[in-house]
Amino acid sequence: MVHDGGICTARLRLRPWRVSDAAFHRRLWEERDKQVPARRRISADGRPTQVDLEEWIRTYDSTPEPGLLVVDNKLTEAPMGYCGLVDNSVGHPDEPELAFEFLQECWGRGFATEASRAVVERAEHIGYRYLASTVREWNSASFNVLGKLGFEFAGEREPDSIHGDSLLLRLALR
């Protein structure tokens, strides 16, 4: 269900970013696995700072629609993660990429699957024909989520001996 620029499910509300989400967003950065490339982790000099993330939120462009949305727990109204669509990193502009990330305390309870399913449904409604997702070979939790949604390995692999190969998965929409 679409609500106030966001999406609601049984347990979740997916909504646009607010500047007040910067501290939560930084916590996600802090929790990232050491295998994640350095450019996506907190640097030795503490970047991105909360102020950097506030600026990112102020200038965030939610293209491709609906963009990345903050995922709140409907009961507590606390942010748990984000989920949405981003530009496809492998160069298919008509095929946005599903992306999601949740606080570790929220793992293993189906929140990523529930949020991702809602975004896939929104993508179908918008009219996208395909979605993509790139996942590091070691990220079994993300593979589990994508598998439940029907994503399949597209046969494309970006080798990375330091951070683990990145695999491309695709989903054909109705």
One-letter amino acid of 145: V
One-letter amino acid of 169: L
Q: Which two tokens stand for residue 100?
A: 């999601």
Using only C-alpha atoms, the chain has a radius of gyration, in whole angstroms, of: 16
- Going by C-alpha positions, the residue among 142, 140, 86, 133 that lies closest to residue 111 is 142
The mean pLDDT of 102-131, rounded to a whole number, is 96
Calculate ∠ Cα 140-10-8, nearest 5°.
95
Q: Give the C-alpha separation, 56 to 144, whole Å.
A: 30
DSSP state of 20: G
- Going by C-alpha positions, the residue among 86, 84, 76 that lies closest to residue 16 is 84
Residues 6+ apart with CB under 8 A from 100: 71, 81, 82, 83, 84, 112, 115, 116, 142, 145
Amino acid 2: pLDDT: 46
Domain ranges across the chain: 2-172
Q: Give the C-alpha separation, 99 to 145, whole Å.
A: 11
State pLDDT tens for residues 63-73. Answer: 899 999 999 99
State pLDDT tens for residues 1-51. Answer: 545 568 999 999 999 999 999 999 999 999 988 887 778 888 889 899 999
Amino acid 83: pLDDT: 98
State pLDDT tens for residues 73-98. Answer: 999 999 999 999 999 766 576 789 99
Architecture of domain 2-172: 3-Layer(aba) Sandwich (3.40)
